[in-house]
Amino acid sequence: MAQVGLKEVSKVYPGGIAAVRNVSLEVGDGEFVVLVGPSGCGKSTTLRMIAGLEEVTEGEISIGGRVVNEVPPKDRDIAMVFQNYALYPHMTVYNNMAFGLKLRRYPKAEIDQRVREAARVLEIEELLNRKPKALSGGERQRVALGRAIVRNPQVFLFDEPLSNLDAMLRVQMRAEIEKLHTRLGTTMIYVTHDQVEAMTMGDRIVVMLDGVVQQISTPSELYQKPVNRFVAGFIGSPPMNFLEGRLKSEQGTLRFTSDMGDVALDVHDSHRAALEAHAGQGVLMGIRPEDLLENATQTPVPGRSLTATVEMVEPLGAETYLYLSVDGHSITGRVHADVLPQVASTHVIDLDLSKAHYFDASTGEAIL
């Protein structure tokens, strides 16, 4: 087990592609940290630099307190699991798992003991004599995990290990990896572009965009206090709604008015102090779909309700997604399963404005 530290790490690929810019990160001993962000944001590059598969252009990487910039991958005491499993097709499951240990000249008895123990943990004991092509995707993924586990590394690195699996199996394997983490207590760094995966698995989450870390937080803090517009829109499904507009002070009330149409919403008392200084300025208001509430009497409350045209209704059983149009703005609501309005009808929706987010219109930085 070990801490992993990145100090102002950058990677510029040949051709001048700046894939990772000035990333600093401390992963605690035994922690499960998830790197998440859209395609091309530098997640794999970051992970591959930790593994030693990619050279660091600038900055310092340490594992267990030791700077490893110049240490070759095989001496870093890490194990990596990839998306495509990278199993050896001509070897049995047993040999796939044993291979790395044989290379390192472990005694035969110890190899056997480690492989069988990993197979037991992953429930693949019956598969040990099969070749990869005779396995399902989920089984192959388990073997890839097994190959990492037998090494008993200080750190596990995962690069989208579940993205080749179907939705159900992915949820199951997610739980397996979490159990594995609890059981082994080993430091894990996990890359995914799936924010749901990140939210459910990580002790902490690192959100990246264009090679730059946007925010490092626990899942709940990331959800409740996104530091900028990008994080706010990236985390959460369906995504947060955004309205462009400005703050205006009118007769003692601080009010948000949208640029398009004439949505006017009162700033919640608890936000007023923080927002007052921004009166007269352009802001982006954000409200999550679950903070749209059905107005039971369909009577608009000035400053708090929206009158929306229903464009689409998605009943999901446990809840309903409403796709609404409000004065030319598209807004998504996530409401009680019983709320099933007619398409093209108008519908009054209240907003829980105590949950609203506000961002600087020009920088996208959170104001609250």
Ligand X SMILES: Nc1ncnc2c1ncn2[C@@H]1O[C@H](COP(=O)(O)OP(=O)(O)OP(=O)(O)O)[C@@H](O)[C@H]1O
Bridge partner residues of 326 (DSSP): 329
Q: Which does 182 bind (CB under 5 to 8 A by kind): ligand X, Mg ion, none?
A: none
Q: Residue 132 CA to chain centroid, in angstroms?
A: 30
Residue 25 sits in the site that holds ligand X (CB under 6 A): no
Residue 288 sits in the site that holds ligand X (CB under 6 A): no
Nearer of residues 42 and 146 to Mg ion, judged by Cβ: 42
- Least Å from the CB of residue 202 to ligand X: 16
Q: Which does 88 bind (CB under 5 to 8 A by kind): Mg ion, ligand X, none?
A: none
Nearer of residues 19 and 135 to ligand X, judged by Cβ: 19
**What distance in Å separates the CA atoms of residue 333 and residue 74, rounded to the nearest whole number?**
50
Residue 21 sits in the site that holds ligand X (CB under 6 A): no
- Least Å from the CB of residue 84 to ligand X: 12
Tokens in use for 143? 């073997």
Q: Which stretch binds ligand X (CB under 6 A): 12-20, 166-174, 256-264, 267-275?
A: 12-20
Tokens in use for 258? 């949208």
Residue 42 sits in the site that holds ligand X (CB under 6 A): yes
- Least Å from the CB of residue 195 to ligand X: 12
Residue 101 sits in the site that holds ligand X (CB under 6 A): no
Q: Which does 13 bind (CB under 5 to 8 A by kind): Mg ion, ligand X, none?
A: ligand X
Buried b / exposed e over 163-179, threshold 16 CB at 10 Å, is: eebeeebbeebbebbee
- Least Å from the CB of residue 75 to ligand X: 23
Q: Give the list of residues 6+ apart from residue 349 with CB closer than 8 angstroms, or none.
A: 292, 293, 294, 295, 305, 306, 307, 308, 322, 324, 333
**What distance in Å separates the CA atoms of residue 306 and residue 325, rounded to the nearest whole number?**
10
- Out of 16, 39, 262, 317, point to the residue binding ligand X (CB under 6 A): 39
Angle, helix 93-103 to helix 108-122, in steps of 10 degrees: 140
Residue 45 sits in the site that holds ligand X (CB under 6 A): yes
Residue 43 sits in the site that holds ligand X (CB under 6 A): yes
Residue 320 sits in the site that holds ligand X (CB under 6 A): no
- Least Å from the CB of residue 80 to Mg ion: 12
Residue 40 sits in the site that holds ligand X (CB under 6 A): yes
Nearer of residues 83 and 332 to Mg ion, judged by Cβ: 83
- Least Å from the CB of residue 12 to Mg ion: 17
**What distance in Å separates the CA atoms of residue 27 and residue 145, rounded to the nearest whole number?**
21
Residue 13 sits in the site that holds ligand X (CB under 6 A): yes
Q: Which does 214 bind (CB under 5 to 8 A by kind): ligand X, Mg ion, none?
A: none
232-238 long-range contacts (CB < 8 A, ≥24 apart) are 232/286, 232/357, 232/359, 232/366, 233/286, 234/36, 234/37, 234/38, 234/195, 234/207, 234/209, 235/195, 235/198, 235/199, 235/207, 236/195, 236/288, 236/289, 237/195, 237/196, 238/289, 238/321, 238/332, 238/334
55 neighbors 146 (Cβ within 8 angstroms): no
- Least Å from the CB of residue 47 to Mg ion: 8
Peptide bond into 238 cis (omega under 30): yes
Q: Nearest-CA neighbor of 88 among 99, 74, 104?
A: 99
Q: Which of residues 168-227 bind ligand X (CB under 6 A)?
A: 193
Tell me, by CB under 6 A, how many residues bind ligand X: 12
- Least Å from the CB of residue 44 to Mg ion: 3
Residues that bind ligand X (CB under 6 A): 13, 17, 19, 37, 39-45, 193
